Chains A and B, each alone.
Chain A
């Protein structure tokens, strides 16, 4: 039983396909990052998971059940926090606790978790963006859910608030909760997520662990003349493993072959001025995936 399992989930608005046959699986206890450029279909997918938007086709299972039966164990913050401005933070949570049918005792616990206890008595309308965001996360935690769905949870937070939020998400993951998190901040995803799914143009184009997605290390070689060096190395390791980027060679080979490459180039009369191992950032992979796959911007 997976906390989230979708099969060919699709949402069409007329001719526009916002989400196109997305089949994603979130495993128990993991922090899953849902990545994609603006308009890629992330929020529409998350809204479908919560039953706010009805799929045009495809199926959704949450915690092994249909959405209606599972929502009691799901907490969510979708597309920014939204509360009643005339109520205080605490009163907002009290109202939501009544809808959720959860004990009022949870209110102080979640306020403390997001560090909002001091301002809980103030009207929501007077909150800063960061405080509103933290109240949104508090509301998502109200039911002590098994599955937490957070759409851009660090939006609007200052650097300290972001660090706190990441720590909180990691803590929730460590405590056995499953977290599905969408984010633009790839460094953040790299830090806190176990696995990621990448959407572009409404399609899930990759789903893997962060480590797998980043792939192995690359060898970076600065040599002169560069074209001659590229031709020589291509002959040695294969065409598709050699690229020229920013005036240097990027080689998809193990770091242990650095000395051999260096010796081959030098013996061919090519000057090698720099040789280094470079790990790929998630951002590089993300940009590579989303730009090569392309895709139209959709809702």
Chain B
């Protein structure tokens, strides 16, 4: 298992697409969380999303909420793509047979993949926190504002929550890749859910239909958004709204991780590699 995990980590690290996804996640996060509000406060980004948030929202004391704010939707989409690529690539390149012929069992390889994807998810979350810390410190210094950092406990809680959200979306990517045995369709369908269906449900269907509003409390996106809101993310952020308690959100997301990973493992174990 250790050898297979090292192999999976090597594959992710050496794959240019992994670094591209990390870069896109960081650039998107910095742009919409810090640069647009900062430019808006200076009068150079009128009308842009988040342009009216004000400089106070970009300072170090908002680090936790700002770093995980993208994970319920946009950064979540990046993680979904990462999960799909890590597993779906084996179908696309036909490499399942090559690596399984080396002797490890399917579940050993699958477990190694999950470990590597979870680690990559943590790295992306840490990168979001690190980039946010550097940017907010720079803004505080430039504006002469106080650099009041959140407590280490709050930061660790934020990293943990972000990791859970990130792993959940990556897990969705993994199960879609195994179920659909590829890359393109799982990414397409995953993004349709994350970017379109989820928003339609919360913005249009939930206010009209009670059962959809109740269903929302058990769907992955609203639980991630609720936990992010609780940890300080502005509710102006897409997909972020207080809807359920923290314990509920963490339990539901953990259950989704288990379900996604479990179904993926079951399908991979049962089906022929063709």
Contact = CB atoms under 8 A, between A and B. Distances in A.
Contacts of B274: 47, 52-53
Contacts of A278: none
Interface string B10-40: 1100111000000000000000000000000
Interface in A63-94: 68, 71-72, 74-87, 91, 94
A83 B101 contact: no
A98 B4 contact: yes
Given A54-B272, A83-B95, A68 B102 contact: no
Given A95-B11, A98-B6, A85 B99 contact: no
**Size class of B's contact patch?**
20 to 34
B197 interface: no
B101 A76 contact: yes
B100 interface: yes
B95 A51 contact: no
Nearest to B6: A98
Nearest to B98: A82
B103 interface: yes
Given A100-B104, A143-B103, 5 more contacts: A76-B97, A83-B98, A87-B14, A136-B98, A140-B101
Contact of A101 (B16, B99, B103): B103
Interface residues of A, number: 36
A83 B95 CA distance: 6
Given A53-B272, A53-B274, A99 B14 contact: no
B94 interface: yes
Interface in B54-100: 89, 93-100
Given A50-B97, A82-B93, A84-B95, A68 B14 contact: no
Interface of A: 47, 50-54, 68, 71-72, 74-87, 91, 94-96, 98-101, 136, 139-140, 142-143
Contact of B100 (A51, A87, A101): A51
Interface of B: 3-4, 6-7, 10-11, 14-16, 89, 93-105, 109, 272-274
A100 B96 CA distance: 14
A64 B98 CA distance: 23
A52 B102 contact: no
Looking at B15, B95, B102, the one whose CB has the most chain A CB atoms below 10 A away is: B102
Contacts of A50: 97, 100-101
A211 to B, nearest CB: 32
A143 B102 contact: yes
A99 B97 CA distance: 12
B93 A99 contact: no
Contacts of A68: 105
A9 B121 CA distance: 43
B145 to A, nearest CB: 44
A52 B272 contact: yes
Nearest to B106: A51
Contacts of B89: 84
Contacts of B96: 52
B102 A82 contact: no
A47 B273 contact: yes
A79 B93 contact: no
21 contacts: A50-B101, A52-B100, A53-B274, A54-B272, A71-B101, A78-B97, A80-B94, A81-B98, A84-B11, A84-B95, A86-B15, A94-B10, A95-B11, A96-B7, A96-B98, A98-B6, A98-B10, A99-B104, A100-B102, A100-B103, A139-B101
A99 B109 contact: yes
A99 B96 CA distance: 12
Contact of B103 (A77, A84, A85, A99): A99
